[in-house]
Each structure stands twice: as structure tokens, then as C-alpha cells.
Chain A
Amino acid sequence: MISLSLTPTSSWYLILSAILFAIGTFGVLVRRNPLVMFMCIELMLNAVNLSFVALARELNDINGQTIVLFVMVVAAAEVVVGLGIIVSIMRNRSAMTVDDLAELKG
């Protein structure tokens, strides 16, 4: 069943998106700057978007692209809220690692 050709089929897009997702996971696990962690979350969202588009193309279904549009909108809202939280925390203190961010509790 392993028949990967060299032309860009959707399997290559899916493999690329899997590798992108793994890289994003690695960044979230390793980096300690909260801004860079947000960037890695964006990487993971883009990997999922890429796999959605590849599967929509492969299955001849437009719903995958619709879901990608919704994912983009929700990601934009998430980045806005997250950066607002980071700004409001970092105004008071200049510590830049997430190990110090235990003050989200009300």
C-alpha cells in the first residue's frame, strides 16, 4: 500500500502538515518566551489548516475549506485575546518566562 510518488499528491501535503505540527509542539514544549509560544501555536494551527485543505481537495468536499476559514477567524480572535493578556501582565513586571506567570488567578 506504500505507493508514494514524487509528484505532489495530497499525502505529501499531509506529511508536511504532520511535520509542521510536530515542530510547533516542540516549540511550545521547549521555548519559554510566551510570545514565541504563541507563534508556535500559530504554526500548529497552520499545519491543521494545511491538512484540512489537502483533505478537502482529495475528498472533493468544500466543507474542509469552510472549516479552514472558521479556524482562521478563531485563531485571529485567540491571538488578540492572548496578546492582550500578555500585554496586561507584562506591563507590571518585566519577567519574560512563562515560569513566572502564575498570576492569572483572580
Chain B
Amino acid sequence: MVLLGAVGVIVRKHPVHAALSLVLTLFGVAVLFVAQEAHFLAAVQVIVYAGAIVVLFLFVIMLLGVDRVENLRTDPLTAQRPLAIITCLGLAGVLVAAIVNGNGVFNERGEGINLPDLQNGPDANTVQLAESIFSRYVVAFEVTSVLLVIAVVGTVLLTRKAKASAK
């Protein structure tokens, strides 16, 4: 399902259809997060990605009125698409070969913080993640909040400036 949505993103000509395929992929990744006992990250994935980012994409598509069908037949550069196919197949092949070769490597380490199991309660993963964020990575967390504020203010400035110059 994840791969189906991902292929849909790059194959569908209409941008709205691509965005809806992206929703399919993001929900699939959220389900895989749940399957790996990262419940808080799955909730954040659904809320932030499928709830906010894709809605933002659709909003921009409909705001700009650019929901035209893209012509996928013509190449802008000659032989761009075969080169892209070769590059991506090589990338996937190298990554999969590395993963298969290193299959037994990461089974040997067990130190570090233990992931909570069912004995610790259903929200133990969230508690542990919060302890990790607010104790060890608290400076990075604050910097992230500053980054979000800067992004919002910068985006407002960008769009307002374009409107003022168009007048």
C-alpha cells in the first residue's frame, strides 16, 4: 500500500491526485510506525503530515489554480528519464544490497535505552520519548521551536511582499 501510493505520487498527472496518493503513503507509514511500537510518532505522523502538510499542498494547488494536467510525454532534456530510471534503480540496488549484507550486524547490540514493552503500560513509549526530548535534547527542542517561528514569519513576509510588489 505504501509503495502503491508512492508510485501514484510520481505517476499521476494531476497534482491533486498526486497529493491524495501521498496521503495513502503517509497513512501507510503511520501504520508501520504503529507496527514498530512507535505510537506517539504514528499519531504525530497522521496529524502533522496527513493532516497539515497535505492540506497545505491541496490549499496551494487550489489557491494557485495550477491543477492542470502535466504533460508527462515529453522530456525536457534528451534521455533524462532513462538516466533517472538507471540512477534510481542503482540507488535502490545499492541500498538493498547494503541492508542485506549488513543483516546480522545490528542484531548484536542491545545497550542503550530499552524500548518499553507491554509491562510498562500502553503509553510508556510516549513517556520515554518525552523524557528523552526534555532532558537530553532540550536545547535542540527549543531551537526547533525558534525555527518554526522563523519559518512562519518568513512565509508571511514572503507572500505579503509579493502582493505589495504586484500593486
Contact = CB atoms under 8 A, between A and B. Distances in A.
Question: Are A and B associated in one complex?
Answer: yes
Interface in B49-108: 49, 52-53, 56-57, 60-61, 63-64, 66, 68, 70, 76, 80-81, 83-85, 87-89, 91-92, 95-96, 99-101, 103-104, 106-107
Contact of A22 (B22, B57, B88, B113): B88
Contacts of B137: 66, 70
A14 B99 contact: yes
A22 B92 contact: yes
Contacts of B22: 39, 42-43
B95 A30 contact: no
A1 B105 CA distance: 10
Query: Which applies to chain B's interface (DSSP): helix, strand, loop or mixed?
Result: helix
Given A8-B35, A26-B10, A91-B162, A73 B60 contact: no
**Chain A interface SS verdict (over half):** helix
Interface of A: 1-4, 8, 10-11, 13-16, 18-27, 29-33, 35-36, 38-40, 42-43, 46, 49-50, 53-63, 65-66, 68-70, 72-81, 83-92, 94, 96-97, 99
6 contacts: A33-B15, A50-B33, A60-B109, A73-B148, A81-B158, A84-B159
